[in-house]
A and B are shown apart, each in its own frame.
Chain A
Amino acid sequence: MATFELYWRSTIGMCLTETLDEMVSSSTLSSELAIQVLVQFDKCMTEALESQVKRKVSIKGHLHTYRFCDNVWTFILQDALFKNEDSQENVGRVKIVACDSKLLSQ
């Protein structure tokens, strides 16, 4: 099962990579083991988002940039509105990075 390394850029992913970097630098942990932890994190994160999250969001905004490269869509929106069920957020500029869901299920 392939992993995206997509969620490594999230808050939780960054905290994990920072922690692993510190431990590998202090030789507390081997780099191979750190890679295994990250791979496991990808799987768990994807599975948790599928099963534990039940939220639908709608996004509207002005598309400033779009890019499709290596099966990854990157959008940069301006003046975006994120509508939640009970709340909404306005952001001046947001980047959306999306991987192909079909690749993960292969």
Chain B
Amino acid sequence: MTSSTTSAVYIHVIEDVINKVRDEFVNNGGPGESVLNELQALWETKMMIAGAIVGRAERSSGQKQPAPGSAITPVHDLNVPYEGTEEYETPTADMLFPPTPLQTPLPTPLPGTADGSMYNIPTGGSDYLTPVNDSGGNADVKGGRPSPYMQSPSPWANQRTPLSVDVNVAYVEGRDEVDRGTSNQPLTQDFFMMPPGKRKREDFATQYNNGGGGGYIPQQDGAGDPTSEVAKTVENQANFLGRHDSATKAKSKILAHVATSSSKILQLDGPIPDPFDDMLSTPNIYNYQGVVSDDYNVANTPAPNDLQAATPAPVSQNNTVDDDEDEPLNEDDDDDDLDDVDQEELNTQHLVLAQFDKVTRTKSRWKCTLKDGIMHINNKDILFNKATGEFDF
């Protein structure tokens, strides 16, 4: 419901326009006065339906304008605290009517404004809330996806150091086992002998066998393949002699992983071998290391998971790639937001049409001076001839 002044201005504009186009309608072969009157009538009818102007009959009488708090109207406004005349102030009337202000929680606004304000404000808020919540929820969900995969390497990395510790412990314990394995030492010696040109390793082997006090057994595990043994000896050299040749270092790194993975040395991918099956299929080297290999079994049982852990990595990468494509762009967030609001709230969209004199900005603070404007907000039309705006971006 517009105020009376706004309505009066509108009516003035309508009449002004009709008067100014009357010449075109009547003269020069125009449609005529009747068409002009029809135009005016239709225009005013639509304005009254929209609530922009007050009807002529209503304006002339001047009493039917609903206004809150008016006690003069014959229709009782129950939202107003009852102010009865003396003749009504009987005990029964007091018992009946005083609760009225308590029953109605608030003075209800005019029906037009109530509908507009109540529907506009919550939807305006909720429209901005829901996308934020959705994007936040998605971020949480998508952010949580890589984490299970990311954590998988760490247990094994953590366990690798214990392996080395366990290895040392095994070696200490293996001093007793060396006695068990003494019968096999000639076999190991034989193995050391097999590769040509590895006399240095033989010497070290003899030193180990002779010393024994160092507790360093050249082989903790290994496949029956001579290449792996050679690599192991290389590793042993690197470990015990402190050599840091690049080749040996690389091999030692490979063998460090290989040593920890025990029987699954040569395969890092492909079908997951059963550790026990591999042990059975390999030669007698494992025999004297039966107890020691138990330790590796404990350490090795997670090894298949190592192989399994490798495969999720590309999968998680794919997920992250998808996330990069979908999430950070957020192309449609604002478009959906604005489009929905514009399409759904065309009639109730709050709008200000005006002319600007000056628009300035300082950092994120905007100031503007407007003039001659029509505002349609909260289902009301308000006119102004001057306005100042201060906005924070």
Interface residues of A (CB under 8 A from B): 4, 6-7, 9-12, 15-16, 18-20, 22-23, 28-30, 33, 36-37, 40-41, 43-50, 52-63, 65-66, 68, 73, 75-78, 80, 82, 84, 89-101, 104
Tell me if A46 and B372 are in contact (CB < 8 A).
yes
CB closest residue in chain B, given A97: B353
Residues from chain A with a CB closer than 8 A to the CB of B354 are 6, 96-99
B281 at the interface (CB under 8 A from A): no
Contacts of A49 in B (CB 8 A): 9, 372-374, 383, 385
Whether the pair A11, B52 counts as a contact (CB closer than 8 A) is: yes
In chain B, positions 181-232 with a C-beta closer than 8 Å to chain A are none
Given known A-B contacts A28-B35, A29-B31, A44-B16, A94 and B387 have beta carbons under 8 A apart: no
Task: Identify B124's interface contact among A54, A58, A92, CB under 8 A.
Answer: A92
Which of the residues B338, B371, B376 comes within 8 Å of A10, measured between beta carbons? Answer: B376
Chain A residues within 8 Å of B388, by CB: 56-59
Question: Can you name the residue of chain A whose Cβ is closest to the Cβ of B349?
Answer: A95
* A91-B385 Cα distance, complex, nearest whole Å: 20
Which B residues fall within an 8 A CB radius of A? 5, 9-10, 12-14, 16-17, 20-21, 24-25, 30-31, 35, 38-39, 42-43, 46-47, 50, 52, 117, 120-125, 127-128, 338, 341, 349-357, 359, 366, 368, 370-378, 380-393
Shortest CB-to-CB span from A89 to chain B, Å, is 5
CA distance A96 to B388 in the complex (A): 12
| Chain B residues positioned under 8 Å from A54 (CB to CB) | 385
Number of A-B contacts (CB under 8 A): 215
| B117, chain A: closest CB distance, angstroms | 8
A75, A80, A96 interface centre (most CB from chain B within 10 Å): A96
| A101 (CB) vs chain B CBs: closest residue | B355
Majority secondary structure, B binding face: mixed
A96 → B minimal CB distance (Å): 4
User: Given the complex, which residues of A lie within 8 Å of B122, measured CB to CB?
Assistant: 92
B313 CB to closest chain A CB, in angstroms?
42
Partner of B387, one of A59, A73, A95: A59
- Cα A15 to Cα B14 with chains together (Å): 11
Determine the distance from Cα of A60 to Cα of B24 in the docked complex, in whole angstroms: 44
| B393 and A57 contacting across the interface, CB-CB below 8 Å | no
A82 to chain B: which residues have CB within 8 Å?
A: 375, 377, 382
Residue of A nearest to B341 (CB): A93
Does the CB pair B46–A18 fall under 8 Å? yes
| Chain B residues whose C-beta falls within 8 Å of the C-beta of A48 in the assembled complex | 9, 12-13, 16
B391: chain A residues within 8 A (beta carbon): 59-63, 75, 77
Q: Specify which of A29, A65, A97 is in contact with B352 (CB 8 Å cutoff).
A: A97
Q: Complex Cα distance A28/B252, Å?
A: 98
Closest chain A residue to B392 by CB distance? A62
**Given known contacts A22-B42, A23-B42, A48-B13, A63 and B392 CB-to-CB distance under 8 angstroms:** yes
Q: How far is the CA of A23 from the CA of B122 in the complex (A)?
A: 39
The listed residue (A44, A60, A62, A90) touching B17 by CB distance below 8 A is A44
**Neighbour of B50 across the interface among A15, A52, A99, CB < 8 A:** A15
Q: In whole Å, how far is B361's beta carbon from the nearest beta carbon of chain A?
A: 8
The distance in angstroms between the C-alpha atoms of A46 and B357, with both chains bound, is: 15
Question: Closest residue to A33 on the B side, CB-wise?
Answer: B24
* 9 further contact pairs, Cβ within 8 A, besides A15-B43, A78-B128: A11-B50, A12-B47, A23-B35, A33-B21, A49-B383, A63-B366, A75-B368, A92-B125, A94-B377
Tell me which residues across on chain B come within 8 A of A41, comparing CB atoms: 13, 17
Q: Do B120 and A57 have beta carbons less than 8 Å apart?
A: no
Chain A residues lying within 8 Å of B13, measured Cβ to Cβ, are: 12, 41, 44-45, 48
State whether A101 and B357 are in contact (beta carbons under 8 Å apart), knowing that A49-B383, A59-B389, A75-B391 are contacts in the complex.
yes
Query: Which residues of chain B are within 8 angstroms of A99 by Cβ–Cβ distance?
Result: 354-356
Minimum C-beta distance from B42 to chain A (A): 4
A73–B21 CA distance with the chains assembled, in angstroms? 31
Q: CA–CA, A94 to B38, complex, Å?
A: 35
